Amino acid sequence: MTNPAPTDHPVHPLIEKRWSPRAFTSASVTAEQMRSLFEAARWAASSRNEQPWSFLVALREDEAQFARFFGCLMPGNQPWAGSVSALALSVAEARGADGSPNKYAVHDTALAVANLIVQATSMDLYTHQMGGFDGTKARAEFGIPETHDPVAMIAIGHVADADTLPEDLRERERQPRVRRPLAEFVYGSAWGLASDLVS
């Protein structure tokens, strides 16, 4: 199943293709594929090249490890996330090398995740990020130090047909993809005034 973005202007095919499905097949991802995803994350830009991101990850085949990640998900995500090939948790280091707060930590971690997602999409893998997880539980479960903050869970796998989902999720999977128009968030002369470029 595909669900390309109905864009108003031309974009790269990978951006058009990326989508956050909930229906995943039980096919595996290989360790080599996972290394490519993290290699892509590794080459993200970051403020002062601090690279504040870390990832915890488990493949579904590794049932005991996978269950630890799955157990941190909120109940709303569990009905679909059990069949994904891998679960990863992004973590941001909140302080820079000099000990001062790194206000770009989450921003840069998200850049690394965006790279990972573009790489995944290029390999015909799909991802679904989740804020719906218990960060306190994850911190305790994986021994994440207080200097670091869990940011987002990321489901990675092979997309399946929406028919494989429970009824309520099937409907959501088929909803049209919507976005605010450019004129609502690209401003020119003042806050709230659409730039001439987009109006």
Site membership for ligand FMN, residue 89 (CB under 6 A): no
* Least separation in angstroms between CB 80 and ligand FMN: 8
Question: Helix 31-42 vs helix 105-122: angle between axes, to the nearest 10 degrees?
Answer: 140
Site membership for ligand FMN, residue 130 (CB under 6 A): yes
Site membership for ligand FMN, residue 129 (CB under 6 A): yes
Site membership for ligand FMN, residue 132 (CB under 6 A): yes
* Least separation in angstroms between CB 31 and ligand FMN: 26
Q: Quote the CA–CA distance of 166 and 151 in Å, as a whole number.
A: 28
Helix (H, G, I), strand (E, B) or coil at 26: coil
Q: Quote the CA–CA distance of 184 and 167 in Å, as a whole number.
A: 34
Nearest CA to 72 out of 187, 174, 150 is that of: 150
Site membership for ligand FMN, residue 77 (CB under 6 A): yes
Segment contacting ligand FMN by CB under 6 A, of 86-94, 95-103, 124-132, 183-191: 124-132
Q: Quote the CA–CA distance of 178 and 52 in Å, as a whole number.
A: 32
Q: Please report, as ranges, the residues that interact with ligand FMN according to CB under 6 A.
A: 19-20, 77, 129-132, 152, 177
